[in-house]
Amino acid sequence: MRLTPERVADEYEWVRDRADVVVPLINEVRAGLGDLFETEVSEVGSEAYREEVDAVFADGDRAVNVAALVAVLRELDVAGDYPGFVVDEMLGRELAGTVAGTQPLRLLGEATFHYADVSVHADEGGEARSASGERAGDARETAGADDLDAALAAGFQTRLPGWDWQDGESPFAVENADRG
């Protein structure tokens, strides 16, 4: 695989155009996590998702890594799938963390990937489906397809506002810490 600025731009467009697949997954993940943690979590709309995709790909260093992981997962397949289980999980977790950002969001994105991945699986025809049975992606026959959708949902849902704990400044910030 060769990554060029043009290839990164192509992967950006592909990720941005997946709003119709990724946004419902984000909202499904948020609803499930909200229930688990007994909190209300705001839903995400397609425009908010696209704006966040723009922000991720505006950072060139992050963009090249996200584009590489997306490209690999789009093509990754292993005969019989199971032998490739670890590699597509590893790449999906890394993509979710890279999209989510720096700590602690990175760790939350990685953890959320595993939660999202449980609810998104390719059916026998290779089409990714959510736990509710809804189509989660295009008909594809690669092992990485469902992990790619789960990773994008996990990473972007972590970055996007809507969680109460993200609404204000951290109570742990030390005043005067920025003074030398």
Whether residue 135 contacts residue 143, with contact meaning beta carbons closer than 8 Å, is answered with no
Secondary structure class of 163 (helix, strand, coil): coil
Residue 173 in any domain: the answer is no
What's the rounded mean pLDDT across residues 56-69?
97
Residue 88 placed within a domain: yes
Would residue 86 count as lying in a domain?
Answer: yes
Residue 176 lies in a domain: no
**pTM for this one?**
0.84
Q: Cα–Cα distance between 124 and 154 in angstroms, integer?
A: 24
Residue 169 lies in a domain: no
CB neighbour class for 53 (10 Å; exposed up to 12, middle 13-18, buried from 19): buried
For residue 21, tell me if it sits in a domain: yes
pLDDT band at 177, cuts 50/70/90? low
Domain, as residue range, for 138: 5-164
Is residue 179, in this structure, part of any structural domain at all? no
The total number of structural domains in the chain stands at 1
| Residue 171 forms part of a structural domain | no
> What's the CA gap between 49 and 70, in Å, rounded?
16
pLDDT digits (tens, 9 = 90+) for 72-129: 999 887 776 666 677 888 999 999 999 999 999 999 999 999 999 987 654 444 444 4
Residue 104 preceded by cis peptide, ω within 30: yes
What does the alpha-carbon distance between residue 18 and residue 50 come to, in Å, rounded to a whole number?
Answer: 9
Give the pair of three-digit tokens for residue 68. Answer: 């590489």
Portion of the chain with pLDDT greater than 90, in percent: 63
Q: Which two tokens stand for residue 156?
A: 């972007």
Average pLDDT of every residue of the chain:
85
Position 23 scores a pLDDT of: 97
pLDDT 10s digits, 10-51? 999 999 999 999 999 999 999 999 999 999 999 999 999 999
